[in-house]
Amino acid sequence: MNIQSMSLFVLIVSLFGCVALKTKVDTKAGRLMDDVNFLLDEKLLDGEIATWRDKDEPKLERNLAVFLTFSENGKLCRDYYTFIVENGREKKPVFGTTCRLSKRRWQRVNWSFRDAYQAPARKRFEFFQEVNRNAPEPVYVSDYRLPSILLKSVQKAEIKHELPLREMINKASKKEALNPVLIHSVIKQESNYNPKVCSHVGACGLMQLMPLTAKEVGVSDPFNPSQNLMGGTRYLRKMLNRRGIKGNIPLALAAYNAGYGNVKKYGYQVPPFKETQNYVKKIMGYFKSQ
C-alpha cells in the first residue's frame, strides 16, 4: 500500500533491523523503542506495507506490514508480517505480535517464523497492493479535482435532478472527514448519482442504503438526497473505524458492500465474492484516477 509520509520510512529503518540481528536491537534499544511506539500508535494501518532500503545495506529491501489489529484481555494488540528481499530474492517471512501497555508504550515484539498466516497474509497483501497502489489518503481535502468520468456523471445528474450534488457531497464529506473524491467514487458505483433508484434487494438512494442501515445512521427518508448522503458517508466512516479495518479503504468498501461480518469472517480481508472484489476494484479505480 502507498504510504504518504516519508517520515514513516525514516522511523522504521531501525525497526526491521531488530528482526534479523538481535544484537542490533540491544545496542539501539532506547531509540528503537521510541520509533516502534510511534509507528504502532500513529502510522502503519492494517493491510499497509511499508517498503524501504537502509542506506547502510542497499542490497536489502525491507518490508513490514500489520495484518491484524485486535483486542486481547482488554489490551490493543497487533500482528505483523515482515520479510526481506536480498538481491531480488525474498527470504523467509517473520511474524510478530505485541500489545499496547499504555499510550506510546508497547510490549517488546515477540517474533517467530510460524507460517500459519503466511498464505492468507500474502494473498491479502497482494490484493491490497494492487488496489491501493498510488491511492490518495481517505482524509478530507478541500482542494481536489474530480476525475472526468465522475465530473461528467455528477454534472449530468445535477441537471436531471435539479440538485446541487457536488455541494451536498462536499458537505457530507467534510462532516465525516472523508475525501470527497472517495464519496463520489462510491456514489458512482452504487447509484450513478440517481437519488431515486432502488436495487432488487431494497437498497435505495445515492449511496444505496438498506433499510436497517438507514435506520442505524439516522436516515428516516432514504430518498431525501441530503439525508442519504449524510447517512451513507457516516456509515462508510463507521466501517473505516471498525476493528480489523482501522483506516484500510478496500476493507471499508468491502464492509460497505458485503457487511462487516463477512470481512471479519474471512480474516479481515476482502471476502472472496466476485461482486465485492470487483466493487472494491472499481471504486478504487475511480478514486485513484484523480
Could you tell me if 250 and 270 are in contact, meaning their C-beta atoms sit under 8 angstroms apart? yes
Contacts of 252 (CB under 8 A, 6+ apart): 236, 239, 240, 242, 245
Of 42, 190, 216, 275, the active-site residue reads: 190
Query: Minimal CA–CA distance to 65: which of 92, 37, 43?
Result: 43
DSSP letters, 17-85, are: HHHH-HHHHHHTHHHHHHHHHHIIIIIPPBT-EEEEEETTEEEEEEEEEEEEEEEETTEEEEEEEEEEE
Residues in the chain: 290
Q: Verify whether residue 190 is a known catalytic residue.
A: yes
Residue 178, classified by CB atoms within 10 Å of its CB into exposed (0-12), middle (13-18) or buried (19+), is buried
Helix (H), strand (E) counts: the chain = 12, 7
Residue 253 to residues 27, 140, 272, 286, Cα–Cα distance (Å): 43, 17, 14, 13
Provide the 3-class DSSP secondary structure of residue 94.
strand
Q: Which residues are catalytic?
A: 190
